[in-house]
Amino acid sequence: MYPFTREKLKDWAGQDALRRAEMLVDHGRVRGLKSLPRRLEGLIEARPRDIVCAVAFPKESGLPDNQCPCRDNREMGLFCHHAVALCLEQLNIQEDPVRLKKLMEERKRAERIASTSEEDYLTRVPAGTPGSIAIRLCLRFPEEIRTLWWGESIPVQIQVEHQGQRAHIHEVRSDLKVSLPQQEDNLLFVLEDIAEGPVPNELELSRADLANVLELMSGMRVWFERTRAGSRRNRCPPRWCWD
């Protein structure tokens, strides 16, 4: 817990700053809040540029240390509405479990993105680029997809095909330049967005994501993967389904 309430924020900053801060929060302009021990950090969307703001709460003092770089703080020594907005966002998160869950998901997504590098993605170039090879994107769905549809997610294998040979997408060397048909390149961008990073060899899709993917695959080859009863690992070769 942090040493403030809405009334305390009003005492520190005044009614006008509190009102302006509430507008920032209500319009979703407080982003990436970090709730650290006795410290809040976050980004305030503003014009002409965003503001990286922070507020610290020293143990030895009841007054916060406003570290916002804005003019109100630096030149006038005010507890600015940017700092108040960080505090209000923290109070909202503490009072709203849904908001807290959303924040945690945003943090995990940011951490995943920060931990990946360009080498984790396929090096895609326009068709005909010297030194590139043409590949096709191949998605393999479980044969029992209608049963799995009612579950939380559906596993889909992501493969590529070159000269009739298929391989998992992560078996493609990162130093190779590859080109895809435009439709499949667009689909791969969507899969990367769903995966929130490089596409794994097997991607779990929600029903909504699966419906979107199938719509994007209109006219593409679709493969189903047969499985023997009682064994998910003992698979038969895929069969052709439709074009």
Q: Can you give the pLDDT at residue 225?
A: 66
Task: For residues 42 and 83, give the distance between their C-alpha atoms in angstroms, rounded to a whole number.
Answer: 9
CB contact set of 39 (below 8 Å; sequence gap of 6+): 54, 55, 56, 57
Task: For residues 230 and 227, give the distance between their C-alpha atoms in angstroms, rounded to a whole number.
Answer: 8
**pTM as predicted:** 0.49
- Residue 155 β-bridge partners: 204
Amino acid of residue 170 = H
Q: Can you give the pLDDT at residue 239?
A: 35
Q: Can you give the pLDDT at residue 242?
A: 33
Averaged pLDDT, groups of 10, the chain, 243 residues long: 89 95 94 90 89 91 88 94 95 80 71 69 89 92 77 88 89 89 92 87 90 87 59 35 33
CB contact set of 78 (below 8 Å; sequence gap of 6+): 13, 17, 72
Give per-residue pLDDT as tens, 194-222. 888 888 999 999 888 988 998 898 888 77
